[in-house]
Amino acid sequence: MSPTPTGRLLGNDLVLTRTFRAPAADVWASLTDPERTARWYGPWKGDAAPGRTIEVQLIHEDGQPWTEMTVDACEPARRLALSAVDAHYRWHLDIVLAEEAGVTELRFTQHMTDTDGVGDIGPGWEFYLDALVAAREDRPAPRFDDYYPAMKDHFEAQR
């Protein structure tokens, strides 16, 4: 059974959410501790301070390349904003955590300049956020082939 897409476009912002029965500080560690990010996205190295650049290894991409990301904002257990530029896109990512009664909502936003490519980008973020959920629950990582191209139409229909 294929996973169900949850992401939506709000203007040029691609927004996805996940909910965890855990304190925001623990979810934050899954987003920022290099040993924990290695379980679902990839390890990183460098000085992770606002305005600084880190290197992140994309373990689920062909060749597992390293890429540079700039830390635009870092408010522990609350908000992390990152940006990067590659051959295809400018990536402006914003992750906000909100905790209430021991349950933390993660709101992931990619600020896009336009919605071209959202049919390719959206399924990727669904995959990565589900990989985060799987890593936190000690389950095997999902398979990208279950996300793309199956979810492409969901995102393109929102343009």
The CATH number covering residue 41 comes to 3.30.530.20
Find the mean pLDDT for residues 27-31.
98
Portion of the chain with pLDDT greater than 70, in percent: 99
Note the pLDDT of residue 127. 98
**Structural domains in the chain (count):** 1
| H helix intervals, the chain | 24-32, 34-37, 118-136, 152-156
- Does pLDDT of 87 surpass 80? no
For residue 129, tell me if it sits in a domain.
Answer: yes
Quick one: pLDDT band at residue 89, thresholds 50, 70, 90? Answer: confident
The whole-angstrom separation of Cα 28 and Cα 75 is 10
- Ramachandran assignment for 114, one of left (phi > 0), alpha (psi -120 to 50 degrees), beta (any other): beta
Tell me what the pLDDT averaged over the chain comes to. Answer: 96
In a domain, 3, yes or no: no
Q: Six-digit token pair at 64? A: 């597992």
Instruction: Establish if 2 belongs to a structural domain.
Output: no
Domain carrying residue 36: 8-156
109 is a domain residue: yes
Kindly state the average pLDDT of the residues 29-33. 98
Residue 28 lies in a domain: yes
Phi and psi at residue 77, in whole multiples of 5°?
Answer: 60, 15
Query: Is residue 29 domain-resident?
Result: yes
In a domain, 125, yes or no: yes
pLDDT band (50, 70, 90) for residue 2 = confident
- Domain annotation covers residue 106: yes
Structure tokens at 24: 């925001």
Residue 107's pLDDT is 98
